[in-house]
Amino acid sequence: MGTKQNKKGKAYTRRDFLKGFGGGAIGAAVVPKILAQESASIETKKGKIPVCSKKQVTLTVNGEKYTLVVEPQETLLDVLRERLNLTGTKKTCNQGECGGCTVLLDDEPVYSCLYLAFRADGKDIRTIEGLAEKENLHPVQQAFIDTDAYQCGFCAPGFIMSTVGYLETQGNSQSNMKLNMEDIKTAISGNICRCGNYDQIYKAVAEAAKKMGRS
């Protein structure tokens, strides 16, 4: 898609355009009013069940807190990409089959396309953008580069998040943990690489395990 110049002479990208629509994080001050308008309830013999079409949530993403209002059907994936502009997490199959949208939710890998944003309230979310420390890549990122585990690269953020989630929960080499190839394959079995670069990806995970003292 072509780009347009804005007033400051900076190029508009398709993403800025979309972002303008989605609205960034909405300030907490306007929240109660919106929520009040949107709330209702269902009467039952056992009391009222609250019903809403908007909810205020606080997400901690890569260590930063965001307070925003989400609709029940908004997925964590869409909130990350469209509202927080964290587009490293990929929207690929959008139905829990490919793993491109994998993020860590309280340190566990989940598909953000099948996880509703309202449920992430109060949770700690880590995405590919949060791995590197300044110029230093995370050992898993470095291992993917060192072993040529990228082809088109589109699936890489998902594979990397699955790998980080997996390796962080494994004991280190002192605890006599030995990772074998079968464990590695199982750990990243929820991710698919359309280019079929699996051999290099498996090597990358094994290499990362070494770098992190997990093998």
Ligand X SMILES: Cc1cc2nc3c(=O)[nH]c(=O)nc-3n(C[C@H](O)[C@H](O)[C@H](O)COP(=O)(O)OP(=O)(O)OC[C@H]3O[C@@H](n4cnc5c(N)ncnc54)[C@H](O)[C@@H]3O)c2cc1C
Distance in angstroms (rounded) separating the CA atoms of residues 142 and 140: 5
Instruction: State both tokens at 191.
Output: 């991710």
Q: What is the 3-state secondary structure (H, E, C) of 71-93?
A: CCCCEHHHHHHHHCCCCCCCCCC
Closest contact distance (angstroms) between CB of 51 and another protein is 5
Q: Contact with ligand X (CB under 6 A): which of 37, 73, 97, 107?
A: 97
Residues that bind another protein (CB under 8 A): 40, 42-47, 49-53, 55, 71-75, 94-96, 99, 102, 105, 108-111, 114-116, 118-119, 162, 166, 185-187, 189-190
| Number of residues located near ligand X, criterion CB under 6 A | 2
Does the CA dihedral 92-54-119-89 come out positive or negative? positive
Q: Does 72 bind ligand X (CB under 6 A)?
A: no
Q: Does 108 bind ligand X (CB under 6 A)?
A: no
DSSP 80: I
Closest contact distance (angstroms) between CB of 120 and ligand X is 15
Closest contact distance (angstroms) between CB of 95 and ligand X is 7
Instruction: State both tokens at 153.
Output: 């690269």
Q: Residue 147's binding partner, choosing from ligand X, another protein, none, with beta-carbon cut-off 5 to 8 A by kind?
A: none
Q: Count of CB atoms within 10 A of residue 56's CB?
A: 17
Q: Does 96 bind ligand X (CB under 6 A)?
A: yes
* 8 A C-beta contact, residue 131 and residue 138: yes
Q: Residue 144's binding partner, choosing from ligand X, another protein, none, with beta-carbon cut-off 5 to 8 A by kind?
A: none
Distance in angstroms (rounded) separating the CA atoms of residues 137 and 131: 7
Closest contact distance (angstroms) between CB of 96 and another protein is 6
Closest contact distance (angstroms) between CB of 115 and another protein is 6
Instruction: State both tokens at 62.
Output: 């890569």
| Between 96 and 122, CB nearer to ligand X | 96
Q: Residue 45's binding partner, choosing from ligand X, another protein, none, with beta-carbon cut-off 5 to 8 A by kind?
A: another protein
Closest contact distance (angstroms) between CB of 9 and another protein is 38
Distance in angstroms (rounded) separating the CA atoms of residues 8 and 153: 33
Q: Count of CB atoms within 10 A of residue 109's CB?
A: 23
Distance in angstroms (rounded) separating the CA atoms of residues 195 and 200: 11
| Between 139 and 165, CB nearer to ligand X | 165
| Positions that interact with ligand X (CB under 6 A) | 96-97
